[in-house]
Structure 1
């Protein structure tokens, strides 16, 4: 821990210089360094605790966040740091920009006016014109009724100029990301919120790449491995080969089927062994 404190102390002048140069008056080195050290201390139960990673990588993550004008404070949830093994086998600290952080950056830069996300069901009707900057029309006969299985999600971002940028993801992509993430919450009661978040992240990435100057400036301080605009699971799912489609007699998505399969397993009666029973003091022991 002492080595990490020293590594963070060594970047103080550079951190203050870049924050001052960019006018990020809301960032204070003393405050942010204490937050970083608290995150390190609280990671002791993580799969790769930050206390075990390279001290310089922790300082590097703190500097990168400051270069973008992003705080590591969990209260705003704009960024997070975690331990990870590099390709060379070295344990390093990784800086992750959350979708909330990316939304914050895009909004501050004036790259977006407002955002709308939808989970699309089979019975919903979506009309889009050949003009990609036009707003799509979504018709839902009964918003709170049976709309059929989920077929995808979409996000529409309105730019300050009045253009509409629409990003879509099919159910197959969302389900593959859900399975590869290892997060059971994808198949729980808040599954739709995960679907919205995923398409929102992809949409914001597109906007940030083409419109957002601060991310472009921050790229000078970041390598490809430093900043994860996509979750690792999403990038893997996008590049993974798709399994050959098979004919199915059900109208449910793979995610819904997986969730029901898990529910059935939990509801199954426990297996007991037919061993001799012994009565002791009113208790039946097996």
Structure 2
């Protein structure tokens, strides 16, 4: 069964908009885990627009206590600054189960592209080795929709990565337009290529209860989906527990169909 890792960045956005401690990020993450989520994801950014370094430490303690995976995302090339020690330093401090490297810039509203593995290989290789030494599984953010960037996805294995996370924003946009068929075919082909060289496949970005089932039915053997924005948005209407259980039901149905 595909694992669900809930991204709680948006809880921190709401907290930071008012100051103070409410809503509490750890309490929200606990509610997701109580409902059956398999892990927690956060993506701390250097400008601390949502998740802060203190949140990373608190969530690492929570996930360790609960015996679930903690997935820490970030740009390993972003320099440290006040309040942000740097991605590798955070990983060294909390030892997440998975470190997902993402090539986003400070001025990006959200992550919107994967690595160019041919261009970035030499810079990524020592960082992957360093994260492995810390005991982290390493996943690299990857494009499936862009033929130029996805052409080098096999190089993620040569760099030493354990997994790639397919950036699913373009799929979500195509699904919204009712034009997902060709996009799903492209994602499935890229997933098979990655798996063919020994890479595990994760997926994330703009996945929702509306589009997740079709994605998992078409793209083989996805190990983990990381979902935040849609899940938290849906939870405003239905509550965190009901929403998390809704996603888990989709994962369960998809698993049963693929094994039938």
Measured against the shorter chain, the TM-score band is under 0.3
Query: Normalization by structure 2: what TM-score?
Result: 0.24
**TM-score computed with the length of structure 1 as normaliser:** 0.22
Kindly indicate whether structure 1 or structure 2 has the higher relative contact order, using CA contacts under 8 Å at least 6 residues apart.
2
**More helix, by proportion:** 2
Task: Specify the structure having the higher radius of gyration (Cα).
Answer: 1
